[in-house]
């Protein structure tokens, strides 16, 4: 049996997030009904299937530096859960209706709990997965509100026992990582409800931002301004500022962001002073009502270039007078695709993502 790999897992995570991004009344056509059970037989450890496509491309023999100690903790492992074909068809239909102005489900968003009730696996299937994980020695087993993810903690030894794969150390470009050496396996009875493991490695995605590092300083006032336009051997390059952004995207002059909010999901923290400096540089009013939510147990500072770019550029209405309030939801332990949700001047929500 072949089960989709990491790319599909990420795409499904983004799709699920779009459907639950705003809490409102339950869509009329998402009526409650008995959820079809996907786990229909008892768990037999001797009958297993392989979850294909769950080995990181950098986990190669030339980078291998040997096994990781069995006692090494591996925390916040995720299993992505599956749904029935009927549920998937209903979800696809609802997501189209949510953006169709002629549909009664137009802008009728779901809460995570509503999403889990209608498009998540049955409670019995969830319990079957949780019971198996607990029997393998994993701790802290819990299900997400949307019933799409089971989170748990363990050790390298418990990962080997449960998923029949070893974790090795890898030295890549001078940095040490760990990753599974082969695709994980699970009992075949659980295969219909388990989409895959997200993920058994700590290779983090890298930003595509290029640093130019050029600026102009006024010798009299000490004022620093970026060099928006510069020329090198490759030609002339034109930088984009907030006013350019407003012009290019035809932002109405009266759109000042009053009463609007932006939620940014990422894995890195930021220095709020960078946001303040950016807005001061362009003569914008300071960002206000900044709130940071972190799901990490302890503070962590991953390279924050991407998060910094998102925060400095959020809320660039043409008037630049009343910037929106901001929420940063930080989860540094998960190699997620970057996703930002924004509520513009209309009452709709939009989503943008940068796939890996």
- φ, ψ for residue 95 (rounded to 5)? -65, -35
Q: What is the pLDDT of residues 55-81, one digit of tens each?
A: 999 999 999 999 999 999 999 999 999
Q: What is the rounded CA–CA span in Å between residue 66 and residue 64? A: 6
Q: What is the pLDDT of residues 162-185, one digit of tens each?
A: 999 999 999 999 999 999 999 999
Q: What is the pLDDT of residues 252-300, one digit of tens each?
A: 877 766 777 777 777 667 777 777 777 777 777 666 666 666 665 544 4
pLDDT at site 299: 41
pLDDT at site 161: 95
What tokens were used for 321? Answer: 């007078």
Residue 124, pLDDT above cutoff 70: yes
Residue 247, pLDDT above cutoff 60: yes
pLDDT at site 33: 59
Q: What is the mean pLDDT of the chain?
A: 74
What tokens were used for 133? Answer: 């994980």
Q: Are 169 and 142 in contact (CB under 8 A)?
A: no
Higher pLDDT, residue 21 or 331: 331
pTM score over 0.85: no
pLDDT at site 14: 47
295 CB neighbour count, 10 Å cutoff: 13
Q: Which of 21, 7, 4, 8 is nearest to 342 (CA)?
A: 21
Q: What is the pLDDT of residues 137-152, one digit of tens each?
A: 999 999 999 999 999 9
Residue 346, pLDDT above cutoff 80: no
β-partners of residue 327 are: 263, 291
pLDDT at site 204: 81
Cα separation values, 231 from 86, 89, 211, 228, Å: 56, 52, 15, 10
What tokens were used for 45? Answer: 């450890």
Q: What is the rounded CA–CA span in Å between residue 203 and residue 53? A: 15
With cut-offs at 50, 70 and 90, classify the pLDDT of residue 1: very low
Higher pLDDT, residue 55 or 242: 55
- φ, ψ for residue 80 (rounded to 5)? -90, 125
- Domain residue spans of the chain: 6-198, 215-354
Residue 123, pLDDT above cutoff 90: yes
Q: What is the rounded CA–CA span in Å between residue 46 and residue 58? A: 30
């Amino acid at each position: 049996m072949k089960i989709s790999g990491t790319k599909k897992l990420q795409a499904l995570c983004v799709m699920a997030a779009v459907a639950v991004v705003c809490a409102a009344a339950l869509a009329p056509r998402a009526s409650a009904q008995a959820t079809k059970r996907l786990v229909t037989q008892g768990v037999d450890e001797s009958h297993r299937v392989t979850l294909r496509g769950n080995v990181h491309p950098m986990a190669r023999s030339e980078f291998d530096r040997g096994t990781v100690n069995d006692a090494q903790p591996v925390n916040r492992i995720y299993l992505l859960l599956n749904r029935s074909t009927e549920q998937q068809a209903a979800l696809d239909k609802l997501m189209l209706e949510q953006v169709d102005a002629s549909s009664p489900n137009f802008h009728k968003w779901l809460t995570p709990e509503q999403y889990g009730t209608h498009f998540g696996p049955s409670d019995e299937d969830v319990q079957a997965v949780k019971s198996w994980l607990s029997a393998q020695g994993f701790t802290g087993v819990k299900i997400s509100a949307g019933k799409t993810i089971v989170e748990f903690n363990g050790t390298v030894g418990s990962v080997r026992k449960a998923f029949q794969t070893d974790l090795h150390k890898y030295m890549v470009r001078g940095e040490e990582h760990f990753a599974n050496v082969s695709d994980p396996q699970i009992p075949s009875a659980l295969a219909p409800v388990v989409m895959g493991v997200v993920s058994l490695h700590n290779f983090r995605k890298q930003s595509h931002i290029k640093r130019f590092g050029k600026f102009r300083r006024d010798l009299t006032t000490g004022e620093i301004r970026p060099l928006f336009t510069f020329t090198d051997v490759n030609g002339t390059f034109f930088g984009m500022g907030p006013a350019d952004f407003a012009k290019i995207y035809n932002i109405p002059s009266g759109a000042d962001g009053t009463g609007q909010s932006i939620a940014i999901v990422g894995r890195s923290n930021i220095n709020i002073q960078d946001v303040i400096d950016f807005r001061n540089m362009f003569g914008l009013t300071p960002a206000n009502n900044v709130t940071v939510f972190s799901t990490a147990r302890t503070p962590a500072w991953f390279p924050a270039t991407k998060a910094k770019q998102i925060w400095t550029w959020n809320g660039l209405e043409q008037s630049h007078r009343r910037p929106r309030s901001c929420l940063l939801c930080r989860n540094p332990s998960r190699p997620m695709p970057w996703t930002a949700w924004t509520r513009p001047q209309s009452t709709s929500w939009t989503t943008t993502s940068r796939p890996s």
